[in-house]
């Protein structure tokens, strides 16, 4: 999910993630969710630590440390009376400079997401240090806890940027720069303020987000931006301090669900259907217990079904492509699982029914079950179901209904992709089951009525006549002969004057 960037304004309550994490800020570092033991720090040492932390990331600090180290080392070296050449002193000074610089760079660099992980970056800043610490403990840590509750193909890696870097992110360009430096996929950044609202102190959260995904057409990218905006409110989040723990819990759950949903959509448009499935299914399983009093959660609950359908159809599409490349040999054992999941999630979806009908026939040759799926599609104006109904009828020997459906298609069908696919499928069936010679009549009708290829149609009708008995299909034999004897349409010559 790397590449294009989609930017959206966000309310902290609705971020986008479900993440397996490792924290970055030294005071609260974790690794794979194993918390470091907490210890009480002496107040004076704590003040010293905070002072060092405040200035440690500045290049000036490195310069001053180097100057202090060198000016302290030279007198010490001289007092040892080692009687070594000057080059030894210069070499040892150089070693000290390199060592200190290396340590400084390692402790101040922007943390990075490991390979095969999804980086979830949080960069919060605050005008009030106490407010920042409170948010970090009650809100960020709660998000960390929630996003750890899942088993995903790509583990989420949680990064909380040090405040020094968080304060530097003021524009979308700044945010993009840090997202790239951290090799992340999702970034939340913004400010935490303390304000009095109706006479009571509140934490006010105003955040923005960036999501990375593979390059996609501009129109899809715009739709994705709308998707983010629909599940992430643009207004500030105000959390009353007297009731902040409960509100942070609600907000954090909202964040976890919204995060998984949006990252799932990013995976979906990047065609990583397997990863999208793990995220969407985690939400689907929680759907019943999720609160309905949060607007964004209601939106996600309404959309998670259609998103899962798109995901399963995408996975089936990949199987179908592999099936076609391998000379129609099924190489996946997941197909029936996806088909069953489609039936559970959206049993009345038109595309689900046509897909299930196709594969029910291919896998089991169960014409009755496939027809049952198609019967429920009759009110749809799309013509795809008619191709399926015509084929299944013809396969079962009912050429009259097949011809009826092809005539209906010929009057309204636009585009040649589906007819060519159907023709190729019928040819494959005839190769596997040559006894189903009545299907040549279908090929003739497709070429005559839909593709307009009457020469090929006549060949198909002739093959039909040669391989079937007139007593089995008397009406179709008569019509096939009529099609064969039909004179080709002649173009009228323009008179030259």
Nearest to 186 by CA among 119, 233, 238, 232: 119
Nearest to 365 by CA among 343, 395, 334, 332: 395
Angle at 147 between CA 273 and CA 27, to 5 degrees: 135
In a structure prediction context, what are the per-residue pLDDT tens digits for the chain, which is 497 residues long? 333 333 333 332 232 233 222 222 333 333 333 333 334 455 566 566 666 767 788 888 889 989 998 888 888 888 887 777 888 888 888 999 999 999 988 888 888 888 888 788 888 777 766 666 666 666 676 666 666 666 666 777 888 888 888 888 888 888 888 888 888 877 878 777 766 666 776 656 677 777 776 666 767 767 777 777 777 655 566 555 665 555 556 566 777 788 788 888 888 888 889 989 999 998 998 888 887 777 778 888 999 999 999 999 999 999 988 888 887 777 678 899 999 999 999 999 999 999 999 999 999 999 999 999 999 999 998 889 999 999 999 999 999 999 999 999 986 666 788 899 999 999 999 999 999 999 999 999 999 999 989 999 999 999 999 999 999 999 999 999 999 998 665 544 444 44
| pLDDT of amino acid 164 | 83
Q: What is the pTM of this model?
A: 0.68
| pLDDT of amino acid 467 | 96
d(CA 136, CA 139): 6
Provide the token pair at 457: 């149609």
C-beta of residue 146 within 8 angstroms of C-beta of residue 253: yes
d(CA 326, CA 199): 71
C-beta of residue 120 within 8 angstroms of C-beta of residue 183: no
| pLDDT of amino acid 38 | 38
- Radius of gyration (Cα) for the chain, nearest Å? 34
* CB neighbour list of residue 53: distance below 8 Å, 6 or more residues apart: 26, 27, 162
- Identify the three-state secondary structure at position 197: strand
d(CA 390, CA 450): 13
How far does CA 436 lie from the centroid of its chain? 43
How far does CA 110 lie from the centroid of its chain? 26
Q: Taking the alpha carbons of 414, 415, 419, 421 in that order, is the dihedral positive or negative?
A: negative
| pLDDT of amino acid 219 | 72
| pLDDT of amino acid 249 | 60
- With b for 16 or more beta-carbon neighbours within 10 A and e for fewer, the 306-335 pattern comes to ebbbbbbbbbbeebbeebeeeeeeeeeeeb
């Amino acid at each position: 999910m790397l590449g294009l960037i989609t930017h959206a304004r966000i309310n902290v309550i609705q971020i986008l993630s479900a993440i397996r994490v490792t924290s970055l800020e030294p005071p609260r570092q974790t690794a794979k969710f194993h918390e470091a033991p907490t210890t009480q720090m002496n107040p004076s040492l704590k003040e010293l630590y905070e002072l060092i932390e405040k200035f440690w990331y500045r290049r000036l600090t490195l310069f001053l440390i180097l100057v202090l180290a060198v000016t302290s080392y030279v007198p010490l070296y001289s007092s040892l009376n080692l009687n070594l050449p000057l080059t030894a002193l210069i070499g040892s000074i150089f070693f000290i400079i390199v060592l200190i610089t290396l340590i400084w760079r390692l402790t101040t660099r922007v943390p990075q997401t490991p390979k095969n992980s999804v980086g979830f970056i949080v960069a919060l800043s605050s005008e009030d240090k106490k407010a920042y610490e409170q948010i970090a403990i009650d809100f960020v840590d709660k998000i960390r806890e929630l996003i750890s509750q899942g088993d995903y193909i790509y583990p989420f890696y949680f990064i909380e940027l040090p405040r020094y870097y968080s304060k530097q992110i003021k524009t979308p360009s700044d945010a993009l720069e840090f997202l790239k430096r951290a090799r992340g996929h999702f970034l939340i950044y913004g400010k935490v303020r303390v304000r009095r609202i109706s006479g009571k102190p509140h934490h006010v959260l105003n955040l923005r987000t960036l999501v990375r995904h593979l390059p996609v057409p501009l129109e899809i990218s715009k739709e994705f931006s709308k998707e983010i905006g629909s599940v992430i409110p643009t207004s500030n989040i105000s959390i009353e301090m007297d009731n902040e723990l409960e509100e942070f819990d609600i907000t954090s759950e909202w964040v976890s669900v919204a995060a998984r949903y949006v990252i799932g959509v990013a995976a979906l448009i990047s065609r990583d259907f397997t990863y999208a499935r793990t995220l969407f299914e985690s939400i689907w399983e929680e759907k019943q217990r999720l609160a309905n009093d949060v607007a964004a959660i209601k939106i996600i609950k309404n959309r998670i079904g259609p998103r899962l359908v798109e995901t399963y159809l995408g996975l089936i599409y990949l199987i179908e492509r592999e099936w076609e490349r391998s000379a129609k040999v099924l190489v996946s054992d997941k197909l029936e699982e996806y088909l069953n999941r489609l039936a559970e999630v959206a049993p009345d979806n038109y595309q689900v029914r046509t897909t299930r009908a196709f594969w029910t026939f291919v896998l089991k040759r169960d014409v009755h079950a496939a027809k049952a799926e198609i019967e429920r599609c009759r009110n749809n104006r799309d013509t795809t179901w008619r191709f399926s109904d015509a084929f299944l009828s013809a396969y079962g020997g009912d050429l009259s209904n097949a011809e009826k459906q092809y005539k209906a298609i010929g009057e309204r069908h636009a585009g040649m992709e589906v007819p060519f696919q159907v023709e190729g499928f019928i040819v494959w069936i005839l190769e596997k089951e040559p006894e189903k010679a009545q299907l040549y009549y279908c090929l003739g009708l497709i070429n005559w009525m839909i593709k307009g290829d009457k020469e090929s149609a006549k060949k198909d009708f002739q093959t039909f006549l040669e391989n079937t008995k007139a007593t089995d299909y008397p009406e179709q034999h008569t019509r096939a002969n009529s099609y064969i004897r039909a004179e080709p349409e002649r173009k009228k010559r323009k008179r030259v004057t």
